[in-house]
Amino acid sequence: MTQYFDTLFINANLATMSQEVATPYGAIKNGALGVKDGRITWVGKGKDLPKYEANTVRDCKHWWLSPGLVDCHTHMVFAGSRAQEFEQRLLGTSYADIAKNGGGIISTVTATRAASEHDLCEDTWSWACVSSASGVTTLEMKSGYGLDLETELKMLRAAKYVEDTGLLRIRKTFLGAHALPPEYAGRADDYIDLVCKEMIPVIAAENLADAVDGFCENIGFSPVQIRRVFEAAKKHGLPVKLHAEQLSNQGGAKLAAEFGALSADHLEHIDEAGVQAMAEAGTVAVILPGAFYTLGETLKPPIDLFRKYKVPMALATDFNPGSSPIISPYVILNQACILFGFTPEEALLAMTLNGAKALGLEHETGSLVVGKSADLVEWPIDSPAELCYWMNGTSLAPNRYYKGKLL
């Protein structure tokens, strides 16, 4: 029987990242991949291709084809810069002290509140184009620099503006519990009331978020406060994720696991019981080397414990103007290997399939498997490890396909 393809890739080395393919990177050398109606409809060895007709045949000349990259944790919607704080930190003031003195997240909140929706949309779009040009086809964006309903909605609409262009897949996360806004100083529980009783219901009703996140930290919110946020999210049918154990161990990862969170993120200070709880709940560990590097942290996340308990590890840029002014996935892949001892295969899995899992999208994207969206990148490289090795990888100028369409 003849198979019909819109696009057929031939002479490709496939890094399928599929756990069903028992080679490193799920590699299929001299492979072929067929696409129909935006979906992958055939994957295998070129020599096993059935009889076919294809509108376009793309000869990959033995370059590597990988799933589109997934950046599952960013704060891409923001106004202003924090270069001044970067200088302050280099002169010896800590991230936490800057935050306590009204800087940090709050300085970006001030700039973001003041920005027009139009400017915020255009800036977010510009950043998203950079991300897409680097091979990212799925990108998460958090709110959390508004901390009032109006600005949180403005941020989520800016994320939706990018989503509606169809350039790449966007996941919008509501992060109202990111920091205490100055007008609620000394009244954190009242602010959590606002998040739970006003913000989450409106955002859920307007369908502006795919998940709810929080910052569980001594400069953020306590586990008791985050529990209330998670309960409100659950009531409105939204999955949760959490910034947990970044600067201290608050038991956030355990709490996230208790709520079946998609992910717990950062995790430098997590203990073994927290890792075990995540394993039992199937919660993904999102590791963010960009923030670790930028803040000059010294305690590394316990990668061996995640391996021991088989907690899937994802990697993301955490792109934001404060703790991780890094949009390049290649820098993150490299940092994960050099700073945390990821193998290149673990790193690539972390920015494809496990990134998708951290967003609840593992059945839609993240590996080259029949039935998934045809989100693909064609890389002019000889081995997949090069994606972790060339730190300034944008010069690789990959050909990118989102839902089967060449970008």
Binding positions for Fe ion, rule: CB under 5 A:
318
**Under rule CB under 6 A, residue 174 binds ligand NIG:** no
Using CB under 6 A as the binding rule, whether residue 215 contacts ligand NIG is answered as yes
The DSSP output letter for 26 is G
Tokens read off for 223: 């586990």
In the complex, the smallest distance separating the C-beta of residue 6 from ligand NIG, rounded to whole angstroms, is 39
Q: CB under 5 to 8 A by kind: which of Fe ion, ligand NIG, none does 246 bind?
A: ligand NIG
From the CB of 340, what's the least distance to Fe ion, in Å?
Answer: 17
Q: Which is nearer to ligand NIG, 255 or 385 (CB)?
A: 255
* Shortest distance (Å) from residue 307 CB to ligand NIG: 23
- Select 177 or 374, whichever has its Cβ closest to ligand NIG: 177
Residue written as tokens 């569980």? 216
Alpha helices in 16-116 (DSSP H): 83-90, 95-100, 105-114
Which residues are CB-neighbours of 164 under 8 A, at least 6 positions away?
A: none
Q: Which value, in Å, is the radius of gyration of the alpha carbons in the chain?
A: 21
Residue 163 and residue 116: Cα distance in Å, rounded? 19
- The reply to whether 291 sits near ligand NIG by the rule CB under 6 A is yes
Q: Which does 384 bind (CB under 5 to 8 A by kind): ligand NIG, Fe ion, none?
A: none
Residue 320-349 contact track with ligand NIG, rule CB under 6 A, x = bound: x-xxx-------------------------
- Strands 211-216, 169-177: pairing kind: parallel
- CB nearer to ligand NIG: give 225 or 323: 323
Q: How many residues does the chain have?
A: 407
Rounded to the nearest whole angstrom, what is the least distance from the CB of residue 245 to ligand NIG in the complex? 11
Task: Give the shortest CB-112-to-ligand NIG separation in angstroms.
Answer: 10
Q: Does 318 bind ligand NIG (CB under 6 A)?
A: yes
Region binding ligand NIG by CB under 6 A among candidate stretches 23-31, 103-111, 182-190, 365-373: 103-111
Phi then psi dihedrals of residue 10, to 5 deg: -125, 165
DSSP summary character for residue 105: H
353-388 CB burial, b ≥16 within 10 A, e <16: bbbbbbbbbbeebbbbbeebbbbbbbbebeebbbbb
Strands of the sheet with 263-266, listed across from one edge: 69-71, 136-142, 169-177, 211-216, 241-244, 263-266, 284-287, 313-315
Interface of this chain with ligand NIG, residues 72 to 91, rule: CB under 6 A: 75
Binding residue for ligand NIG (CB under 6 A) from 7, 13, 16, 108? 108
**161 near ligand NIG, rule: CB under 6 A:** no
Shortest separation between residue 149's beta carbon and ligand NIG, angstroms: 20
Name the closest residue to ligand NIG (Cβ).
Answer: 322
Smallest gap from residue 106 Cβ to ligand NIG (A): 9
Q: Which of 108, 121, 171, 69 is nearest to 323 (CA)?
A: 108
Residues of span 234-263 touching ligand NIG by CB under 6 A: 243, 246
Which two three-digit tokens encode residue 364?
A: 């839609």
Binding stretches for ligand NIG (CB under 6 A):
75, 104-105, 108, 215, 243, 246, 291, 318, 320, 322-324
